[in-house]
Structure 1
Amino acid sequence: MALTHLLILALIQGVTEFLPISSSGHLILLPNLTGMADQGQALDVAVHVGTLFAVILYFWSDVRVVIAGLGRLIKGRIDTQGAFWALSLIIATVPVILFGLALNLSGYNDLLRSTAVIGWTMLVFGIVLYWADQTGTAEKRAAHWGLKDAVIMGLCQAIALIPGTSRSGITITAGRKLGYDRESAARLSMLMSIPTIMASGLLLGLDVVQAADMSIARDAGIAAVFAFLAALVALTLMMRLLKSVSFTPYVIYRVILGVILLVIAYT
């Protein structure tokens, strides 16, 4: 695959994975609207791995706490913040795994990859994000994350398997409506992405390994590096901006893109 194509894919995935504007929706739109060849599962896995390493690096202090807590959780001890977070992350990841398997086995996964679906989800969930951000309180911090909130955010994360919804967008929406401040809602959303990306990468990777060759491996490596760098920059900018800016700019982008896609889809 041409280097420019790899760069475009990596930039789209890296920038949109953690912003509330839907990475999967943008990746589907690229071949739908430009006529470019579909990148295939190997590159999907590669760019997801790149963004995975970016979020782990950026939130390493939190990840380290969760890893330590996971060890205590395995021993049956839920007596630290890390152990409680580890349990909450597991609970929040179960719905997306079950819903993802159901979509794959039923064949509905492919039916949802249309410009019209992405247009509607961009528009509707963008408006919902604005509503939650404007009406949600800010009395909770990430340290207050409880099992009930993990279940709610986990169920919302499963809905994000519908292209255009945005995994980060809908979990941030849930977090804001549950009373978390903007930075904490985004922080929890990013932590939730780690086991989710791992699970989706493993699911896709099992199919990729059987058909992999050296050219695919080379392209995948290049795409992963580009996606890692793009995701790290996007994460850094978003987390800094959240100290002074709301989610409204992302909402405006979603609404405009959604309307454009619906016009294209229905004309």
Structure 2
Amino acid sequence: MTYLSPLGYLLGVEGVALLRGMREGTGDRTFVEARLAEIRELLADPTLRAAGGLDAVPGGIGTDQVYDEWAAHYDGPNSMIDLEQPLVREILAGLPVGTALDAACGTGRHAEYLAGLGHRVIGVDANPRMLAVAAAKLPELDLRRGMLDALPLGDDSVDLVVCGLALCHTPDLAPVFAEFARVLRPGGHLVVSDPHQVLSYLRPTLPRAPGPDGRRSILVEYHRPLSAYLTAALRYGFQLRHCAEPQAERPERPTVAPPMPTEVGWALLDQVPEAAAVALSVPSVVLLHLQSPG
């Protein structure tokens, strides 16, 4: 059981901002005193005191249920995709045209770009609602339902694999990279992106819809250090061609905070814009370009 406290989260953001300011030499006296004053205000805020918090069950909701609800809105604004997508496309644009697999293709955002480059594209995803959106957008696309650790493709069948922002849903990287190695032809390319582990510690843990027991839920995700991806890839002979850990620019926050939310969520950051700008200025995505042995 996890207790999600809006006050606890905001105090955590303030604490991270103070620690970063001291560690990096950017926290002068004015900054530190402002953080301490803001902490006192948060502790005295009657809305936060009244809100308390809520219990949530890790694993009480699954990836399928979350993406069922998200499918219709997945192509809307998303700051992580806005950061990741241009960097992935920059790599893809420099690779030879052939047969490409968009693994965990979702609504087909990478598949659409690959097709535009001239690739014969296969899209694989485990969620039928996400595949339905992809099929409506890209009726000519070869779409298949399947899991990352059991791809519905033959051995040595593709020249390129792209897997965008999906490995955080897999508990074990080894069987997934084994599948990437199996379906790639010798010398084939693998481009992988995933949410960054550092950001996962700082972003709000969102309470999800109640489960069968009526309690709120938390989607379990697997955020890993960069070494975990490299270890899994090297095990199957992949060679590293490029690695990046880009950081998103924090959006401007309102100078006058809106009414205090009563649940943990992104809107809470509007209450502490200066602390949030410092605390969350961290790598947001890990990006790897790998090549199978040729």
Give 1 or 2 for the bigger CA radius of gyration.
2
Q: TM-score, normalised by structure 1?
A: 0.27
Q: Which structure shows the bigger proportion of residues in helix conformation?
A: 1
Which one scores higher on RCO, CA 8 angstroms, separation ≥ 6?
A: 1
